[in-house]
């Protein structure tokens, strides 16, 4: 079953999930998407217009022609474009509504929240050269296997560990770009725990008294066992010390050699020679965590971190099944609506993905 046929066969389900036709009409009016229901009769028709343009292959003119043939509405494409510009806040409210329905709660087994981002290039011809992007900041929850947070920004806003609200008791897992001491402290203060990939040069490592610690020396001492699990502190810009565990494990031989080759190549590109310390660090995977050692062993920490592949599969679903790609047109207003429509659809399709040909859930079960 294709996405298009699945979308059409599930239209009643989609309307129900979004509060029904009356609810859609009310929310569209409340958010300024449409103040007068003249040519477009109600919120359900407006949503179908928006999704037909954003998820289909029609141009603006083509969508208007399709709507006329389907007897949904007789509207000129400039008028539809004006309405499209006004739909951003409406789609944001619908996304918030869907996310709130199954708002996760920390349970005895601990809620696991995977933090990551994905992006699509803007439509301008030179956008790729200038790194002009639309960035989607996301959180993916386990064991629910669903997105629980989206934030759409441009390339000027970087990844932030604490962008999503913290659910007390959660374990928030992030890649090395999320080694952000002040933001890590904010998550901890709100009641969350952390498992974050680390780079030996990307933090000011100290002991509990604020004295600098040589991470390479720590790795050398653990070289025989191939594993490290020690308390350590990270100094924040404010001068406060953030207490964490440094957990490290040696990579398998082939992976270690490949990592060292990457370090050497990167140094040569900058007309430099790879340092001995950089080559030593390359054979290790470093993770910092706030989880207690007596409850979560070093091996368990790495098992938790490996769960990050699930959000990568979720992004794959978003881009391949739902068809998220660079939005058409240069106008940021229509581009944001285009991306938000895709995010709304992924939330609505997630419970139905077992009927589609490609599903991260089926791949995880394999």
**Tens-place pLDDT, residues 32-51:** 998 778 888 889 999 988 98
When mean pLDDT is compared across 103-107, 243-247, 341-345, the lowest value belongs to: 103-107
> Residue 60 in contact with residue 327, Cβ under 8 Å?
no
**Which pLDDT score is estimated for 177?**
94
**Residues 310-319: tens digit of each pLDDT:** 898 888 888 8
Torsion-angle region of 323 (φ positive above 0: left; ψ -120 to 50: alpha; else: beta): left
**Which pLDDT score is estimated for 10?**
73
Please provide the average confidence, as pLDDT, over all residues in the chain. Answer: 87
Residue 4 has pLDDT above 70, yes or no: no
**Percent of the chain having pLDDT more than 90?**
58
The rounded distance, in Å, linking the Cα atoms of 310 and 95 is 21
> Predicted confidence band at 357 (pLDDT cuts at 50, 70, 90)?
very low
The rounded distance, in Å, linking the Cα atoms of 130 and 115 is 26
> Predicted confidence band at 322 (pLDDT cuts at 50, 70, 90)?
confident
Higher pLDDT, residue 357 or 335:
335
**Which pLDDT score is estimated for 336?**
92
Bridge-based pairing of strands 112-121 and 171-174 is: parallel
Residue 351 has pLDDT above 80, yes or no: no
> Predicted confidence band at 285 (pLDDT cuts at 50, 70, 90)?
very high
Strand order through the sheet with 112-121: 146-154, 133-142, 112-121, 171-174, 193-198, 284-289, 241-250, 227-235, 205-206
**Which pLDDT score is estimated for 102?**
66
> Predicted confidence band at 356 (pLDDT cuts at 50, 70, 90)?
very low
Residues 6+ apart with CB under 8 A from 131: 155
Burial class of residue 93 (count of CB atoms within 10 Å of its CB; 0-12, 13-18, 19+): middle
Q: In a 3-state reduction of DSSP, which class is residue 212? A: strand
Element (H or E) spanning 228, and its range?
A: strand 227-235
Residue 263 has pLDDT above 70, yes or no: yes
Phi first, then psi, for residue 68 (nearest 5°) are -65, -45
The rounded distance, in Å, linking the Cα atoms of 84 and 333 is 8
**Which pLDDT score is estimated for 143?**
86
Instruction: Give which of 172, 175, 228, 218 is closest to 197, Cα–Cα.
Output: 175
The torsion of the CA quartet 88, 331, 316, 340, rounded to 10 degrees, works out to 0
When mean pLDDT is compared across 100-114, 251-265, 297-311, the lowest value belongs to: 100-114
Higher pLDDT, residue 177 or 319:
177
Residue 363 has pLDDT above 50, yes or no: no
> Predicted confidence band at 105 (pLDDT cuts at 50, 70, 90)?
low
Residues 6+ apart with CB under 8 A from 306: none
Residue 7 has pLDDT above 70, yes or no: no
Q: Choose the most confident range, by mean pLDDT, from 18-27, 58-67, 317-326.
A: 18-27
Residue 206 has pLDDT above 90, yes or no: yes
């Amino acid at each position: 079953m294709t996405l298009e046929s699945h979308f059409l066969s599930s239209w009643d389900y989609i309307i129900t999930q979004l509060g029904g036709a009356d609810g859609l009409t009310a929310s569209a009016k409340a958010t300024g998407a449409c103040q007068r229901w003249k040519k477009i009769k109600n919120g359900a028709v407006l949503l179908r217009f928006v999704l037909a343009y954003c998820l289909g292959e029609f141009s603006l003119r083509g969508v208007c022609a399709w709507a006329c043939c389907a007897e949904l509405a007789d509207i000129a494409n400039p008028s539809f474009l004006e309405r499209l510009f006004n739909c951003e806040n409406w789609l944001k409210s619908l996304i918030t509504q869907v996310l709130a329905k199954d708002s996760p709660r920390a349970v005895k087994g601990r809620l696991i929240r995977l933090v990551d981002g994905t992006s699509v290039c803007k439509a301008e011809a030179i956008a790729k050269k200038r790194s002009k992007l639309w960035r989607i900041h996301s959180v993916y929850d386990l064991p629910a296997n669903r997105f629980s947070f989206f934030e759409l920004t441009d390339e000027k806003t970087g990844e932030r560990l604490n962008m999503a609200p913290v659910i007390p008791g959660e374990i928030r897992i992030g890649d090395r770009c999320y080694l952000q001491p002040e933001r890590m402290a904010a998550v901890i203060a709100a009641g969350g725990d952390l498992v974050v990939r680390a780079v030996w040069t990307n933090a000011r490592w100290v002991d509990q008294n604020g004295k600098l610690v040589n991470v390479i020396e720590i790795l050398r001492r653990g070289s025989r066992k191939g594993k490290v699990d020690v308390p350590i502190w990270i100094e924040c810009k404010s001068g406060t010390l953030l207490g964490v565990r440094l957990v490290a494990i040696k990579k398998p031989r082939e992976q270690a050699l490949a990592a060292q080759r990457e370090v050497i190549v990167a140094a040569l590109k900058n007309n430099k020679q790879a340092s001995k310390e950089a080559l030593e660090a390359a054979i290790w995977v470093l993770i910092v965590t706030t989880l207690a050692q007596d409850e979560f062993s070093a091996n368990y920490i790495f098992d938790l971190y490996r769960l990050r592949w699930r959000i990568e599969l979720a992004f794959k679903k978003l881009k391949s099944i739902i068809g998220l790609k660079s939005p058409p047109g240069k106008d940021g207003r229509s581009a944001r609506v285009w991306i938000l429509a895709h995010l709304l659809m992924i939330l609505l399709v997630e419970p139905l993905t077992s009927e589609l040909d490609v599903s991260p859930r089926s791949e995880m079960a394999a």
